[in-house]
Amino acid sequence: MTDGHWTFEEIAPGEAHRHRIVAEVHSTKSAFQHIQVLETESYGRGLFLDGRIQHVAADEYIYSESMVHPAMFLLEGSCERALCIGAGPGGVVRELLRYPGVGEVVQVEIDTSVIDVAREHLPHVGTEHWSDPRVRLRIADVLEYLADEPGRFDLIVNDLSEPLPGSPASEVFSARSVGLMRSSLSERGLYVSWCGSVGPRSSEMAARIGAVVGRVFPHAYRYVTHPQSYGTVWMTVIGSNLPLDPLGADVAEIDRHLAERMTGTLRLYDGVTHHHMFHVPKDVREAVAQVDLEQPIQLLVDGGALT
């Protein structure tokens, strides 16, 4: 939410993170959500959906790079087809297109208004990715799209906004829907989803989303980053049908992989960062281990639940 000239976003009970608002650049209500583009004092322009931060210019790269490059390293830079779920402004799409070994990227976004707003108001993300011949943009509900899609993907990236009660995203995080994602993958395919905040008082939603992926897939690998604009440590999970060893390659090997199989320059991800990501702190590991899979997945926001 926004409060006067500040954003206000609860991270945990009694804990919030705020950004000073310099200007409201754009505000509209679509059929699905309230879309705002706000200019913040410290982090620049950013996208907010239903009052909750999606990204801001100064550290958008942290989120987008961390959602794509660990999985692409595990896929050895080769991906015949990738699916981006949501991914609104397209930062994840942009990062995937750095790899010549990516054949096709399908972005399925339910809200065409987010795309329109991004084209007009979020130049820091870039719009050239939608002109790339490898990209297919589909305005649809991803569950309906996958039910009708006969093909298989080597990578599925879940970049939806938070699964707030009643939102289009809420069902996509359920075990049933993650199972549909798994059935849409090739044998070597990977499923990547953000999980959320893993601060000392805010880890329940992230731990439970990660636990769903661990329940659906035979192998699940968690890692952490720190997008400062979120005000918290952030967890992501990779689900795989096959066993992987995210820490099996040394720093130099990962850097060689990037130099040989990727174009452009990254600001966050390299071999050192990769190893840092997958060395998950003890308290986060314990929070994940304590999840009761028989209980509904409680969301921090508004007391909603996923099953």
DSSP 46: E
Residues 142 and 246 in one domain: yes
Residues 221 and 259 in one domain: yes
Q: Indicate if 159 belongs to the active site.
A: yes
Q: Active site residue: 159, 245, 255, 270, which one?
A: 159
Number of H helices, E strands in the chain: 9, 17
Q: Would you give per-residue pLDDT tens digits along the chain (307 residues)?
A: 666 699 999 999 999 999 999 999 999 999 999 999 999 999 999 999 999 999 999 999 999 999 999 999 999 999 999 999 998 899 999 999 999 999 999 999 999 999 999 999 998 898 888 999 999 999 999 999 999 987 899 999 999 988 877 777 888 999 999 999 999 999 999 999 999 999 999 998 899 899 999 999 999 999 999 999 999 999 999 999 999 999 999 999 999 999 999 999 999 999 999 999 999 999 999 988 887 666 655 444 433 333 3
Q: Is residue 307 one of the residues assigned to a domain? A: no
142 known member of a binding site: yes
228 known member of a binding site: no
Residues 49 and 120 in one domain: no
- Residue 269: give its domain's CATH number: 3.40.50.150
Domain boundary among 56, 78, 101: 56
Distance from C-alpha of 9 to C-alpha of 199, rounded to nearest angstrom: 14
Q: Is residue 141 one of the residues assigned to a domain? A: yes
Q: Is residue 252 one of the residues assigned to a domain? A: yes
Report whether 73 contacts 275 (CB < 8 A): no
Rounded (10°) angle between helices 204-216 and 175-183: 40
Residues 52 and 63 in one domain: no
Residues 47 and 77 in one domain: no
* Residue 167: per-residue pLDDT: 73
Q: Is residue 126 one of the residues assigned to a domain? A: yes
Residues 245 and 282 in one domain: yes
Q: Following DSSP, what letter does each residue of 171-231 receive, concatenated?
A: GGGSHHHHHHHHHTEEEEEEEEEEEEE-STTS-HHHHHHHHHHHHHSSEEEEEEE--GGGT
C-alpha torsion sign, points 117, 238, 100, 276: positive
Total number of domains constituting the chain: 2
* Residue 164: per-residue pLDDT: 76
Task: Quote the domain boundaries for residue 30.
Answer: 2-56
Domain boundary among 11, 30, 56: 56
Report whether 75 contacts 190 (CB < 8 A): yes
Q: Is residue 175 one of the residues assigned to a domain? A: yes
Q: Is residue 196 one of the residues assigned to a domain? A: yes
Residues 35 and 69 in one domain: no
Q: Is residue 27 one of the residues assigned to a domain? A: yes
CA nearest to 68, candidates 231, 232, 220, 193 = 193
Residues 258 and 169 in one domain: yes
3 known member of a binding site: no
Residues 25 and 104 in one domain: no
Residues 71 and 217 in one domain: yes
Report whether 146 contacts 181 (CB < 8 A): yes
* Residue 162: per-residue pLDDT: 87
Backbone angles phi, psi at 30, to 5 degrees: -90, -175
Residues 193 and 267 in one domain: yes
* Residue 163: per-residue pLDDT: 84
Residue given tokens 């707030």 in the structure block: 164
Residues 245 and 262 in one domain: yes
Distance from C-alpha of 197 to C-alpha of 7, rounded to nearest angstrom: 18
Domain boundary among 56, 82, 101: 56
33 known member of a binding site: yes
- Residue 43: give its domain's CATH number: 2.30.140.10
Report whether 227 contacts 219 (CB < 8 A): no
Give whole-number Cα distances, 37 to 23, 89, 157, in Å.
9, 12, 24
| CB-neighbour burial class of residue 64 (10 A; exposed 0-12, middle 13-18, buried 19+) | buried
Q: Is residue 273 one of the residues assigned to a domain? A: yes
59 known member of a binding site: no
